[in-house]
Structure 1
Amino acid sequence: MSDRIIDCDVAIVGAGSAGLPAYREVLKAGLKPLLIEGGPHGTMCARVGCMPSKLLIAAAQAAADARHADGFGIRLGGPPRVDGPAVMERVRRERDRFVSFVVDDVEAMPPEHRLDVPVEFLRDGVLRAADGREVHAERIILATGTRPNVPEQYRPLGELAIVNDDVFDWRDLPRSVLVIGSGVIGVELGLALARLGVRVRVLNRSDSFVHLADPRVRAAALELLGPELALVQCARVATVRREGDQAVVGWSVDGGPETEERFDRVLLTAGRSPALDALHLERTTMPLDERGRPRFDPATLQVHGQPVFLAGDVTGHHAIQHEASDDGRLAGRNAAAWPDVRALPRRAAMAVVFSDPQIMQVGGGYAALGDPEAVAIGEVDWTRQGRSRVMLRNRGLLRVYMRKSDRRFLGAEMIGPDAEHVAHLLAWALQMELTVPDMLKLPFYHPTIEEGIRTALRDAAR
């Protein structure tokens, strides 16, 4: 065999949160994998996603806690001073540490299992690497992740228009940032920057707010977080121009007068798209949809009629790290077992926004309920909840959903204290298919945040 041809059983394109578990599953099955990565190793989660964003959020929370200490009778002698360079130095240092753990794992792999160059399809089962070599694979897993969308409207701003990937390499905090989009990334980063002393404005083209569909929970979230974000909903951006080192953006709402403001940076959080263009899928016989993306079975992750599998964010479903890892394991198992592919049970849906108060959704939330007449809704107002009040964190609302016919717990939406932990407990109950009476038989310690769950469940049961 020519040294210009690399043979493998399964080629895995993308070494991120989905590709790495897929590699391990193929290896476990006794097959020869080839892990292909055309960019830097370290996963999107560690480099530009989950971990660095939480580092920035943690710094913002420390500043917020210092500002609120007076409510407990703790006098700190004035407002905290945010040292922007020190904040960002810690973000970069700890980010690089997380990345190094992943890189070390990849570098420990046998060299014959890795190809660190970009690839594209030549034809079915054959990939051409940028160094001229060809990869021949019986089965292929595409785990290439996503890339941020950069609307053409903002291109005149040059480097003043940024995406979340750029934030974590800052050497200092800017004075002002316009955030485009009130999704998860926009809200998390917008709040963090605002609490670190950056002047922030968030524009959203609709009246949506993160993933909340329950109108009462969404209204509570807007009331609590909207002012800090200087949020403008249903905004139509009319003008975008650059004047020196400033971005000048004008917008209007419902045909009203145009408002114009200047910012040091414009952070674009208007979604991400599957990173597939460079692969030239049109050279294969894979069935593609109108956007040029492979048609696949979400239950097995197999592209229709092909020994090709999608995994992780590239699927366009649930761009969350633990979902990507689950995808990778499923795609790896099915690629190894092909053509005997199977649908495996998936975990209960759960989503968390690391704002303060935090936001969570379990089981697809309000949008997944179907007929509202068949559902009982219970709630707890956190302003009256004992432990929350003790900690001066008594803000928000939890709503839980119960099917009336069999009293089965269906999911929840919430903004309030420790929502990340409440989400886990409720997701576990959902995956175990518990009824609300079953859940009320479980222990609740006093005084805890978890007692608020019991209050909401009792309300639904009534």
Structure 2
Amino acid sequence: MTDRTCDVIVIGAGTAGLKAYKAATARGADTVIIECGPGGSTCTRVGCMPSKLLIAAARTAHEARGANPFGVKTGAVEIDVPAMWARLRRERDRFVDSVLDDYHAIPASQVVHGTARFDGPDAVRVGETRIVARGGIVIATGARPVVPDSLDPVRDLVHTHETIFELDTLPRRLAVLGAGPLGLELAQAFARLGVAVSVFDPGDTLGGLSDPVANDAAIDAISSEIDLHLGVEAKAERAGNAARLTWDGGEIEVDLILAATGRKPALDTLDLATTGIALDDHGTPLFDEASRRCGDSRIFIAGDANAWRPVLHEAARGGQIAGDVAAGGAPRRTLPSLAIAFTEPNIVQVGTGFTDLPEDARIGCAKVCDNGRATADGHDQGVVRLYGDADGKLMGASIVVPEGEHLGHLVALALDRDMDAATFANQAWYHPTIEELLQSAARDLAGIED
């Protein structure tokens, strides 16, 4: 057995791992990064970027079809499917290459290829090599999509976000299992590209919304393009070359199934039992949000591997924090949560969610149909729900609004600055803009008359 000693070990060369490596080396730590695959982030390969490229193509087709009410005649809209997939993969690969540039810039002496297993709380084994960390070990192994066993009869027709972007054609009929952000984004995109899409979810909410008013607004808007089946369990069986989905009250046949039923932290190969750190009921390490440290150990966890806020900006920040603290740095403050589903309208959740509000919370509301800019652009569906405590201090928001991604960032900034609703309402809100919906909701929350 070959031994090696360093200051910090980073397991995984995705977004969180690469940020952890940079942060640790910036403090002068001798840092080793271990990667069992090609490196690069989930976001660029099979997540954020290819999905947004598909959404962009679908949005363009949708806007072309909807141009007539504005007096713009476009004629029939035709999808050049090979060209669409070619552009998606070309641009995706460019994004991947930009991330790999950072990975390949790491000196070869600091990179170990292979699968890491813990060998106690301060060491890992990779093949025949045992590596000991004087400072800390950062787990940044990411997550993998979950495919339910119930889909085994039609497994060859099932895709996840890791495979769906390798299609060369478009299915005529697609079933999406899961009405979370990922499932909804891709469902709407495929529908706008001419695919008959049905979405199934055992829950009764879209995009993780818990605010009933915002959820109703999302359902009203998105159900106009997608066949939604909420509160049902669909079963799959073979029907020739297709899959037959049945549920209480109906059945359909589809060409392909997209499983968007969640992602599980990729921790199975790590042998965490040898570390002595505490795990939750799902086998995920418990950790401190400010430092990403697991208990009082020298083990840290960042990115999707920790199943907390599984979005890129949190993976990047978490990696930076974990790498820095593992090399001797200090913990950092926790930023307000921010999650966005890039459907149309966008589904955005910021800060404290509806179900976690105190009983004396105050809620301000503004409707898209009352916003001049939105109606000028042809939008009339959606709502802003702005939350505050009994004194009017902002706590969070649920936003179902066209281009709501921009509104979410403004609310997140206001939360980080401990702003109250009256102060938020008294900012510079340009007219006419979608952002004025936030001013209207803040005035409603603060009880300010127009």
CA contact (8 A) 2:340 2:347 kept: yes
Structure 1 SS opposite 2:279: coil
Distance 1:284 1:47 in 2: 31
User: What whole-Å deviation, never above 9, does each CA across 1:12-51 have from its counterpart, x for those lacking one?
Assistant: 0011111111101110111111111111212001001111
The alignment status of 1:415 with 2:400, answered yes or no, reads yes
Q: CA contact under 8 A between 1:155 and 1:161: conserved in structure 2?
A: no
Query: Would you say 1:353 and 2:350 are equivalent positions?
Result: no
Give the 3-state SS of the residue equivalent to 2:252 in structure 1.
strand
* Alpha-carbon distance between aligned partners in 2 of 1:248 and 1:72, rounded to the nearest angstrom: 41
Deviation at 1:227, TM superposition (A): 3.5
CA shift, 1:289, in A, is 3.5
**Which deviations, in whole Å up to 9, do the C-alpha atoms of 1:390-409 show, x marking residues without a partner?**
1112321111122232x212
More displaced stretch, 362-371 vs 178-187: 362-371
Instruction: Spell out the pairing of 1:190-339 with structure 2 (5 A cutoff).
Output: 190-237=187-234, 239-252=235-248, 257=249, 259-337=250-328
Looking at structure 1, the residues matched to 168 and 113 of structure 2 have their Cα atoms a distance apart, in angstroms, of: 29
Match in the other structure for 2:57? 59
1:378 aligned residue: 364
Q: Does 1:401 align with 2:387?
A: yes
Separation (CA, whole Å) in 2 of partners of 1:171 and 1:63: 18
SS in 2 for 1:361: strand
Report if aligned partners of 2:121, 2:297 keep a CA contact under 8 Å in 1. Answer: no
Matched residue, 2:446 = 461
Q: 1:431 aligns with which of 408, 416, 419?
A: 416
Per the alignment, residue 31 of structure 1 pairs with: 29
**Displacement over 6 Å in runs of 4+:** none
Deviations 1:86-140 (A, max 9, x none): 111111111100000111111111111111222222333232214x322222321
In 2, Cα distance between the equivalents of 1:219 and 1:448?
24
Q: Partners of 2:287 and 2:407 in 1: how far apart? A: 34
| Residue of structure 2 in register with 1:144 after alignment | 141
The offset of 1:192, in angstroms, is 0.4
Instruction: Please show how residues 85-124 of structure 1 align to structure 2 within 5 Å.
Output: 85-124=82-121
Counterpart residue identity of residue 380, structure 2: N
What is the TM-score of this pair, normalised by structure 2?
0.95
Cα distance in structure 1, aligned partners of 2:410 and 2:423: 13
SS at match of 1:18: helix
Letter in 2 for 1:403: D
SS state at 1:165 partner: coil
Contact 2:158–2:257 under 8 Å retained in 1: yes
- Counterpart position of 2:159: 162
Question: How far is the alpha carbon of 1:342 from its aligned partner?
Answer: 4.5
SS of aligned partner of 2:131: strand
SS in 2 for 1:389: helix
SS, match of residue 295 in structure 2? coil
8 Å CA contact 1:18–1:325 kept in 2: the answer is yes
**Aligned residues with identical type, % of pairs:** 37
Whole-angstrom CA distance in 1 between matches of 2:106 and 2:370: 54
Higher mean alpha-carbon deviation, 146-155 vs 117-126, is at: 117-126
**3-state secondary structure, aligned to 2:246:** strand
Q: Deviations over 1:252-286 (max 9, x none)?
A: 1xxxx4x2211111111111111100111123323
Cα separation, 2, equivalents of 1:305 and 1:386: 54
Bigger CA drift: 186-195 or 163-172? 163-172
Deviations along 1:347-394, whole A, 9 cap, x unmatched? 2221111001111111133233121xx222221111121111111123
Which of 433-442 and 69-78 deviates more? 433-442
Distance in 1, Cα, partners of 2:272 & 2:301: 13
- Report if aligned partners of 1:394, 1:416 keep a CA contact under 8 Å in 2: no
Cα drift, residue 6 of structure 1: 3.0
Q: Aligned pair 1:366/2:366, yes or no?
A: no
Secondary structure (helix, strand or coil) at the match of 1:228 reads coil
Secondary structure class of the residue paired with 2:67: helix
Letter in 2 for 1:314: A
Would the aligned equivalents of 1:402 and 1:460 in 2 still touch at CA under 8 Å? Answer: yes
Q: Which amino acid aligns with 1:352?
A: I
Residue 349 of structure 2 aligns with an amino acid whose one-letter code is: Q
Deviation at 1:244, TM superposition (A): 3.6
Cα distance in 2 for partners of 1:408, 1:302 equals 31
Cα distance in structure 2, aligned partners of 1:298 and 1:362:
17
Cα distance in 1, alignment partners of residues 177 and 422 from structure 2: 43
1:38 & 1:416 partners in 2: Cα distance? Answer: 41
CA RMSD of aligned residues (A): 1.6
CA distance in structure 2 between the partners assigned to 1:453 and 1:296 by the alignment: 35
Q: Distance in 1 between matches of 2:209 and 2:118?
A: 39
For 2:279 and 2:365, the matched residues in 1 are separated by: 44
C-alpha offsets along residues 319-363 of structure 1, whole Å, 9 cap, x if unaligned?
0100111111111111111xxx74311222211110011111111
- Size of the aligned set, in residue pairs, is 446
Which of 120, 130, 134 aligns to 1:134? It is: 130
SS in 2 for 1:236: coil
Provide the C-alpha distance between the structure 2 equivalents of 1:288 and 1:347, rounded to a whole number of angstroms: 24
Structure 1, unmatched stretches of 5+, are none
